[in-house]
A and B are shown apart, each in its own frame.
Chain A
């Protein structure tokens, strides 16, 4: 099944819940249009929250840059001895 069909089905299910809520009149009629708005805003807030969390927890590896420099030095030495052009030091 194409992914977009899954997404649309999910939206349809949410829509059906919304219509169901309207039918049983849990929410007053004149405010019923607010539910989709709330849902969209919540989704947006959740997204921003996830971006923030991810940014705070963004894994960094400064030590890897150091290790890489060591690897580069080691590689240049080895290759120079064997006639590979690794440029000026």
Chain B
């Protein structure tokens, strides 16, 4: 046991995968440091060879906050989200791991509530949910809300997942639990997030939810067309049959 662990002080590793998030990564690092003032943590930026110079900004951030607090663990090119988490995990020295998006849809101000809930309940996973009172989404039009709600009802009816927000990716995991789940999951994209939480539920891990608000600034550029819906349904059937 390290000195720190024998004193009972938990360390948190925040894994943030990035691709072309030159401005957002700076903003999010500032907000993380603002909201986690008395917490022992490190930020692990897993950048997939961004052509916009994201890594240069990360190096500037290291000058401001310290190389021990901000770790840059880059990869040569886009290699997928699941492997990004696995890669970040290899370099994580915390007892707990938080995964979050770099685009500010996951606001660091909720990090203390994740930590608090975990302390209060001893949970292995604390997941942010957008769909309960106290949570919410901004920036979605009616169609987007409809597909989100429809997808949620389908998933609840057939999978009984035990959480209200299946596709959310703002989560805190006990490090050992994340390692276990990453090794068990094979899907890609947001179905990967679903698979993680459903498998966690099946394995009996203690999962808690905290409300979060989600401000989608990029929705205009991302499409939610027919192929996304097909991918979702395929993922749902896969999870129905294999979990």
Contacts and interface: CB of A to CB of B under 8 A. Distances in A.
B234 to A, nearest CB: 15
B132 A65 contact: no
Nearest to A81: B64
A68 B138 CA distance: 11
A51 B138 contact: no
Nearest to A60: B136
Interface string A38-82: 000001000100110011001111101100100110111011001
A86 interface: yes
Interface stretch (A2-10, A12-20, A22-30): A2-10
Nearest to A73: B27
Among A4, A71, A74, residue most surrounded by chain B Cβ atoms (within 10 Å): A71
Interface string B213-243: 1010000000000000000000000001111
A6 B64 CA distance: 54
B130 interface: yes
B146 A51 contact: yes
A76 B26 CA distance: 8
Q: Say what secondary structure dominates the interface of chain B.
A: helix
Interface in B20-66: 22-23, 26-27, 30-31, 56-57, 60-61, 63-64
A84 interface: yes
B30 A64 contact: no
A87 B23 contact: yes
A55 B26 contact: no
A65 B138 contact: yes
Given A3-B202, A75-B26, A79-B30, A51 B150 contact: yes
B215 A64 contact: yes
Contacts of B56: 85
A84 B104 CA distance: 18
A72 B217 CA distance: 13
B159 interface: yes
A48 B61 CA distance: 49
Among A58, A74, A78, residue most surrounded by chain B Cβ atoms (within 10 Å): A58
A68 B64 contact: no
Contacts of A87: 22-23
Given A59-B133, A84-B61, A3 B240 contact: yes
Contact of A60 (B31, B57, B60, B138): B138
Given A64-B136, A86-B26, A58 B149 contact: yes
12 contacts: A3-B243, A4-B240, A51-B149, A60-B137, A61-B136, A68-B215, A71-B31, A75-B27, A79-B26, A82-B64, A84-B26, A85-B60
Interface of A: 2-4, 6-7, 43, 47, 50-51, 54-55, 58-62, 64-65, 68, 71-72, 74-76, 78-79, 82-87
Given A54-B153, A87-B22, 12 more contacts: A3-B160, A4-B240, A7-B240, A51-B150, A55-B146, A59-B134, A64-B215, A83-B64, A84-B26, A85-B26, A85-B57, A87-B23
